[in-house]
Amino acid sequence: MFKILEKQMLNPVIAKMVIEAPRVAKAALPGQFLIVRDGEKGERIPLTISDSDPANGTVTVVIQLIGASTHRMVEDYNVGDCYADVVGPLGNPSDFVNMSPEELGAQRYVFIAGGLGTAPVYPQAKWLHDRGVAVDVIIGARTKDLLIYTEELGGACDNLYLCTDDGSVGFRGVGTAKLEQLVNEEGRKYTRCVAIGPMIMMKFAALTCGKLGIPVVVSMNSLMVDGTGMCGACRVSVGGETKFSCVDGPEFDGSLVDWDEAMRRSRQYKPEETAAMEKK
Amino acid sequence: MANKIPRVPVREQDPKVRAHNFEEVSYGYNKEEAMLEASRCLHCKKPLCVTGCPVNIRIPDFIEQVAGGDFDAAAAVIAMDSSLPAVCGRVCPQETQCEGKCILGVKGEPVAIGKLERFVADWQHGDQNTGAAPDGFSACSGAPIAAPNGHKVAVIGSGPAGLACASDLAKWGYQVHIFEALHKAGGVLAYGIPEFRLPKDKVLQKEIDAVKALGVTIETDVIVGRTVNIDELFDKEGYEAVFVGTGAGLPRFMGIPGENLSGVFSANEFLTRNNLMKAFRDDYMTPIHAGRKACVVGGGNVAMDAARTALRLGADTTIVYRRSEAELPARQEEVHHAKEEGIHFELLTNPVEILGDENGWVRGMKCIRMELGEPDASGRRSPVPVPGSEFIVECDTVIMSLGTSPNPLIAKTTPGLERTRKGGLVADESGATTREGIFAGGDAVTGAATVILAMGAGRKAASAIDAYIKGK
């Protein structure tokens, strides 16, 4: 059993949970994810790790209220309650974790984050920023109230750019437009972009980066059951080869991902999910 | 003469009824049936059945006890060699093992050794159907437990190999801790084999509880190689030896066009959703898609399990297999049950492409007819496509059941642990790997095989671990 130590609604549809999971906290590295199952009858839900504290044995995840399971995981669980299962860390850490100091020193990173994907950008940006690597972060949302992790990210990068569709704060427009502006108008140079967010956002980030000539890494949030390579539900075509997001990823070269297939595959259980929501 | 009695048939759920539920197909013997069937054994001087059993259960001895009505004594005989009789009695391929060697089988029908083993185990577990006392002790804990010897052993994986290894070591006084990656113990017995062949609460959980009753602790949600690695188990957690029984969990795909269409699943995904995650039950959140018309590609036990599961979830289901019926790797009993339940078979048929509709969903499978050519390395005649014989099978779900291979995670994260070309861990007869103190057995070494072989390998490794620690 894994105790919930903190719960906070970051916006009306995204909750942050700090969970006691000492083994996961000790082993987690930036880029990895975990799987939570709320109770005996729950689904196994993959969630990207947004922070880990090995000393206190805690991990932080953010959960977006999308389907019946995520609603239940947030609405029915409060501080002091326990999730039945928290397993991880899963997937490979971000590639920069294995870079030499020389390699790292030569990098200039830009992150593009959208929605729920903003939270897992935090441990990555922080890891790089702590090591003196140049990091800019662009986060986007429909409107000001939906932006999350602005404070945390503010302290984990050189420049934080907020973008909103309605212009209620920061740049009016999407994150990729901000990136184009930074590169084309302000002459920023980036050696690498990491895009984490909804698949449609990552698809356009990959296209924009292609245009700008910036290598782009994306974090695939595919459907999965076990997270250890057993089920193959998370199959994704990367450069014409079938990969498993859980064990080969979750991070891939965004320019090689078959986005239309990935988006279609992520909707595979939509009818079942809709039925479950209606039953709720 | 005892052998004049015909083999006692086992009562089964009506195929028409069971095609719509997940209750166990076979009801098993009751006391009278078991005793009658047991009386058929000839008690051969050199019992071939014992040599046919991968763990050499003293079959005539336990059958003699059944015939005499002393089921506790029968259980004690089985427990000397097997840790999972209720499981093996149900899922072992007896027709090619013990029963395949039975002398009675030469002219007639062999003794129903598997059904008798199951009866004894169920009796021990206090099964209502067999009429046993509900407080019966477990067959597994039948052997006495030695005093704690102070040595710690880690077992990775709670499938048949891990459970068998752990229970032997625990009986000898070791402090054994099992790490399981999933949220429930049992490995393939929990995620792979369906409820209608191996009931989870009634049978599997009791076998696992029996292992726990020996003092073995099981920690779920730990993926060794990610959550913790083997070196940390040695250096930081104080284990003196490690047994790797991580099975063969990685699914194979065909590599044909259309395999990533929506509606194409691995048998692993499909079965895990239904068995481990109980998608068939309304009160569980797990989604599953069997569709209206399902095709299962493959001919092994897993293919039969996936097909019969899809059928029970409401799909008109067809098995597509590239060789002929004689080569089906599945147990005869499973093929027979599948046919009885109304599964269709497209034999000597191989998919060449999966076809999708405008939304990227499966709408059919382009297949080609096959004929059997020369025998291949496995001795089976290899299937060869018949030119120009392509045709389309309509379906909205495809389940790939082409076998599985071992997960490379532990080998990749443990220096000094070598793998074979096929992906299994390199291990000798005793289970010793290429790294001192690490032992392995079951599918993790051999690739996908049987429960009984995994159990046997787990027990051999337990002996090797005992010798290793005592010799240190």
Closest CA of chain B from A131, distance in Å: 24
Q: Does residue B147 form part of some domain? A: no
Task: Indicate yes or no: CB of A23 within 8 angstroms of CB of B288.
Answer: no
Q: Which amino acid is located at A255 in the chain? A: S
Residues B267 and B243 reside in one and the same domain: no
Among the partner-chain residues B191, B226, B250, the one whose CB lies closest to the CB of A88 is B226
Residue of A49, A230, A246, A267 to mutate, testing the B interface (most B Cβ within 10 Å of its Cβ): A230
CATH code of residue B171: 3.50.50.60
As given in the structure block, the two tokens for residue B462 are: 């337990």
Instruction: Report whether pLDDT(B378) > 80.
Output: no
The tokens describing A88, both together, are 């991880």
For residue B54, whether the previous peptide bond is cis, meaning omega lies within 30 degrees of 0, is: no
The average pLDDT across B134-160 equals 73
A181–chain B nearest CA distance, Å: 36
A106 interfacial to chain B (CB closer than 8 Å): no
- pLDDT tens string, chain A, 280 residues long: the values are 999 999 999 999 999 999 999 999 999 999 999 999 999 999 999 998 999 999 999 999 999 998 889 999 999 999 999 999 999 999 999 999 999 999 999 999 999 999 899 999 999 999 999 999 999 999 999 999 999 999 999 999 999 999 999 999 999 999 999 999 999 999 999 999 999 999 999 999 999 999 999 999 999 999 999 999 999 999 999 999 999 999 999 999 999 999 999 999 998 888 888 887 777 6
* CATH number for the domain that contains residue B112: 1.10.1060.10
Final residue in a domain of this structure, among B349, B378, B404: B404
pLDDT over 70 (residue B140): no
Q: How many CB pairs under 8 A join A and B?
A: 106
Return the residue in B156, B180, B224, B227 with the most chain A beta carbons within 10 A, the one to mutate for interface testing: B227
Query: Last residue of a domain, which of B109, B142, B175?
Result: B142
Domain extent for B355: 251-404
Judgement on whether residues B339 and B369 belong to the same structural domain of the protein: yes
Tell me the C-alpha distance between A97 and A107, whole Å. Answer: 13
Whole-model pTM over 0.90: yes
Instruction: Give domain status of residue B299, yes or no.
Output: yes
Confidence of residue B134 (pLDDT cuts 50, 70, 90): very low
How many Å lie between the alpha carbon of A187 and the closest alpha carbon of chain B?
Answer: 41
Q: How far apart are CA B263 and CA A225, in angstroms?
A: 15
C-alpha neighbours within 13 Å on the C-beta side of residue B176: 29
- Cβ contact A228–B223 (<8 Å): yes
- What CA–CA distance (Å, rounded) separates A24 from A5? 15
- B48 and B110 in a single domain? The answer is yes
Q: Which two tokens stand for residue A164?
A: 């909103």
The answer to whether A230 contacts B183, with C-beta atoms less than 8 Å apart, is no
Q: B279 with B394, same domain? A: yes
Report the distance separating Cα B312 and Cα B89, nearest Å: 24
Tell whether domain A95-219 is in CATH 3.40.30.10. no
Q: Which CATH number fits domain A2-90: 3.50.50.60, 3.40.50.300, 3.40.50.2300, 2.40.30.10?
A: 2.40.30.10
Nearest CA in chain A to B261: A265
pLDDT tens digits, residue range B439-453?
A: 999 999 999 999 999
Please state the separation of Cα A152 from the chain's center in Å: 15
Which of A86, A230, A276 lies at the smallest CB-CB distance from B221? A86
C-alpha distance from B208 to closest chain A C-alpha (Å): 18
Check A267 against B227: CB less than 8 A apart: no
Chain B closest CA to A145's CA: distance in Å?
Answer: 31
Distance CA A117, CA A76 (A): 23
3-state secondary structure of A66: coil
Q: Mark whether B44 and B58 lie in a shared domain.
A: yes
Which residues make up the CATH 3.40.50.80 domain(s) of chain A? Answer: 95-219
pLDDT tens profile B95-133: 999 999 999 999 999 999 999 999 999 998 876 455 443
Mean pLDDT score of chain B, rounded to an integer? 93
